[in-house]
């Protein structure tokens, strides 16, 4: 459904005005993209790429409250750790160094094996307002085997406090059935499934064969995105599924 531009403009005015700080001298929040990269000691310049590298492109903010910046940095670090429980609480540099060291240990144990390891992540700003900062984290990695891995995740916070910005911050109480219905409609459209088609018979795994929105969501200028990564509800070969629910379809539920 094509979005109504006037409605969208009104929506963002509401988001900006929800709890706009009253301090007229408050520093505006801004950011610049930065690159962080670590490589094996010998570097990654050979044609064989028998090395490891860890690279993250991420936004560095100015104007954020100190507590909010600290919490945001912790979340970004956690999302580039590939879910490694041993990396809990580590900085991006420590995570990268651990990745490089693990590769070197692996090569020391099996020196005859060829090939390298790689990890790349892009953290992009999808929405930045007075009350909402939504980031998308897209990662790809390879540590040997038949294929690598990849995923997309989101970070949503209130930039004034660092507190999580959830669906309940945007939508009125009781929104869940409507949101789920719209999500299923979008999912079936993306996956080209008829309205009555069984998810299970099409190799999608939902509890009791009933559609469920996951908790991996973010906010864009067009709407709310729910992202199902590979393996989450379907085999790897099926790939990920992105579900977009337009704000225009939720206008009756916006706070």
Residue-wise pLDDT for 110-169, tens only, equals: 988 888 999 999 999 999 999 999 999 999 999 988 788 999 999 999 999 999 999 999
What is the residue-averaged pLDDT of the chain? 89
Instruction: Give 203-239 pLDDT, tens digit per residue.
Output: 999 999 999 999 999 999 999 999 999 999 999 999 9
DSSP conformation letters of 69-127: HHHHHHHHHHHTTTT-GGGTT--HHHHHHHHHHHHHHHHHHSTT----EEEEEEEEEEE
Report the pLDDT value the prediction gives residue 111, as an integer from 0 to 100: 87
Section 35-50 average pLDDT:
82
pTM: 0.86
Pairwise pLDDT comparison (19 vs 37), residue with the higher score: 37
Flag whether pLDDT at 16 surpasses 70. Answer: no
Question: At 56, is the pLDDT very low, low, confident or very high (cuts 50, 70, 90)?
Answer: very high
* 112-98-85-237 Cα dihedral, nearest 10 degrees: -50
């Amino acid at each position: 459904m094509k979005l109504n531009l006037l409605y969208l403009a009104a929506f963002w005015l509401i988001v900006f005005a929800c709890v706009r700080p009253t301090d007229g001298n408050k520093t505006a929040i801004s950011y610049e993209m930065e690159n962080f990269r670590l490589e094996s000691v010998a570097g990654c310049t050979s044609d064989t790429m028998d090395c490891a590298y860890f690279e993250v492109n991420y936004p560095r903010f100015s104007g954020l409250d100190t507590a909010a910046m600290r919490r945001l940095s912790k979340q970004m670090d956690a999302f580039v750790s590939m879910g490694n429980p041993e990396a809990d609480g580590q900085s991006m540099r420590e995570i990268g160094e651990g990745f490089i060291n693990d590769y070197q240990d692996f090569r020391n144990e099996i020196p005859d094996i060829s090939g390298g390891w790689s990890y790349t992540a892009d953290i992009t700003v999808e929405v930045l307002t007075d009350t909402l900062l939504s980031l998308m984290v897209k990662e790809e990695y390879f540590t040997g085997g038949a294929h690598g891995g990849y995923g997309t995740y989101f970070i949503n916070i209130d930039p004034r406090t660092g507190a999580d910005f959830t669906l309940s911050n945007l939508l009125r109480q009781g929104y869940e059935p409507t949101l789920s219905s719209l999500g299923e409609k979008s999912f079936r459209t993306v996956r080209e499934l008829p309205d009555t088609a069984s998810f299970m018979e099409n190799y999608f795994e939902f509890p009791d064969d009933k559609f469920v929105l996951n908790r991996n969501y973010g906010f864009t200028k067009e709407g709310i995105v729910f992202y199902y990564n590979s393996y989450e509800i379907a085999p790897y070969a099926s790939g990920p599924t992105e579900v977009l629910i337009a704000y225009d379809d939720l206008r009756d539920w916006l706070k």
